[in-house]
Structure 1
């Protein structure tokens, strides 16, 4: 049971509304009402004041993006986008996140009712987690644009050949984009990003980070090499292993080994293999997210001599992954998102001049 969580379910398909409502009700989440378009969703939020809204992306009269924007302006309420598995939907889903949605969950294709029931525990978990997010705090989080680093502009000298491994889940996309936007190219990190995100969305996510960052960012492919000033985003439904490291260049291997911590890609896989292979400076970061993925990875990185950082509870959409990492006793610093880039740079700074 989830302790009185109330939801509004918005979808233009009567069948899909029924499936989602049944799953949530079975999981202990009360469905206050259903809405068949964005306009009805906005009205339902006014009337029922729910804890969370599950929002379809494409709907008649008013789509999910417009509805999310209006809800955030009128009565900020956590919104979980339910997105179909298409490239076009990937674009609009990220746009909805920009408008204030907390996260998204991909609606299965094919035999919808069969697949939805298979995913029902995940859906109940994410709706419950999103319902607890303080969207008043989340939606006001600033993000630097490309070339306008939010990190301190002190003159720093950096250690050579550092690698940064970032792990995140629920609420993470905006946080990853902010951190990457604030990292100066001069720090010369090799960056590995593991964001729990399905296949079909990680490519668009990497493009968004590339647009906002001074780093060259791309979706990981099997055998991809990474040098300073570059970043790889783990591909959806593939674990990203660090296969080897030589002369400041690393190479990754993608696998479809079984999920770890119920997820693929798993943060633990990338952190564990980075700790085993990389002998130059390492920094590990755990951002907002549900569950415990990354906790073991942080232990492995710390044992390998890395500096480790976790996002604080106040600025995390969901304080699950960072909390579990902190509980290991292997996290060096706990920082709010606006101080994260500076904390990462401090980990590789050898000298600061005024």
Structure 2
């Protein structure tokens, strides 16, 4: 029987979460703070930990760091729908937590079935995560424009490596020439933020791409993800806005609870729009929406990338990009915390390259090498 350690300083929340998890057949334990959680992990070896962020004494972020350093265990963060909660959750993900779920508020008892379904879905995904593929991120600062990244100059020390790097990454030729106005569409879900950060940090500045990122996250989290990436990358990173112009060197993160569509591609610039159309695969933003519209509209060189996550969102998008003449890449199973999204994309038969997370930046560069054919 799968065992779950529920960590929360609120007895009410421990009881509510514990009950809904137990009702789905899991064995439940509980802890009231970070220190007790560490002791419980070492003494009882739970299969999954659900971890509150804000607790007196040792908080959830510090507890995640210590657990992942001493006894790596799949951790699902439960976070408040606030800017502070979102920032703390991203810190926890950087330290080794696999995924997160917005913490239910005071009216949680009104919809226990929905809460239970969401928590159990996340627990199932987290329980099967490959922790070896998620190494703790190292501190980093925003690169200066024009400064070589790990992919273009080699990783000199741990601070220059991507969050997902587990070793040395081959450095592309420093004088390599790329096509003009390349566009990359990247889709990810569970385990995605750290892998995504690693991929983007390893892209050479000289590539100068337009990047559309679809990471499954609620609206209160995507702006913090964009702000965080903006401090780490030599590119300009923003959360998408309706009608936004996206030029070379711009990275746009799809806004939570909105689909991100590519509306036009003129003179090397994209125009994007946000819509509240029906969810696809139960999610909004959906990777498929952004990839399909990019395949329809982008006339410049185009690459679609399917990264870690559960579900099949992105498979149809990868098919669309391939049909339109773009290049397609999927993360391999060994480096994917959760292999669902890449696996479904690969199953379409439309993926050009399957590679480890560390090799995705190189595969992108290969697709955009000057000799690469023009999309469309």
Q: Map of 1:199-238 to 2, 5 A cutoff?
A: 199-238=219-258
Give me the whole-angstrom Cα distance separating, in 2, the residues matched to 1:180 and 1:143: 15
8 Å CA contact retained: 1:11, 1:56: yes
Unaligned runs of 5+ in 2: 152-170
Of 61, 67, 80, the match for 2:63? 67
Of 130, 133, 148, the match for 2:129? 133
- For 1:48, the equivalent position in structure 2 comes to 44
Q: Map of 1:110-149 to 2, 5 A cutoff?
A: 110-139=106-135, 146=143, 147=147, 149=149
Does residue 317 (structure 1) correspond to residue 314 (structure 2)? The answer is: no
The answer to which structure has the higher strand fraction is 1
Name the count of aligned residue pairs.
Answer: 348
Mean Cα displacement is larger for which, 64-73 or 135-144? 135-144
- For 2:325, the equivalent position in structure 1 comes to 305
Of 6, 14, 17, the match for 2:14? 17
- For 2:90, the equivalent position in structure 1 comes to 94
Alpha-carbon deviation of 1:312?
Answer: 0.6
**Secondary structure, aligned partner of 1:120:** helix
Alpha-carbon deviation of 1:109?
Answer: 2.6
Of 236, 239, 243, the match for 2:263? 243
Alpha-carbon deviation of 1:122?
Answer: 2.4
- For 1:187, the equivalent position in structure 2 comes to 207
TM-score by length of 1: 0.94
Say if 1:13 and 1:141 are closer, same or farther in 2 by CA, change over 3 A: closer
- Two-structure CA RMSD over aligned residues (Å): 1.7
Give me the whole-angstrom Cα distance separating, in 2, the residues matched to 1:144 and 1:300: 36
Unaligned runs of 5+ in 1: none
Q: What per-residue deviation string (whole Å, max 9, x for no partner) do you get for residues 20-65 of structure 1?
A: 112222223221x111111111111111101110000011221101
**Secondary structure, aligned partner of 1:218:** strand
8 Å CA contact retained: 1:144, 1:150: no
Q: Displaced runs of 4+ in structure 1, greater than 4 A?
A: 140-145
Of 258, 277, 280, the match for 1:257? 277
- For 1:165, the equivalent position in structure 2 comes to 185
Give me the whole-angstrom Cα distance separating, in 1, the residues matched to 2:370 and 2:11: 60
- For 2:81, the equivalent position in structure 1 comes to 85
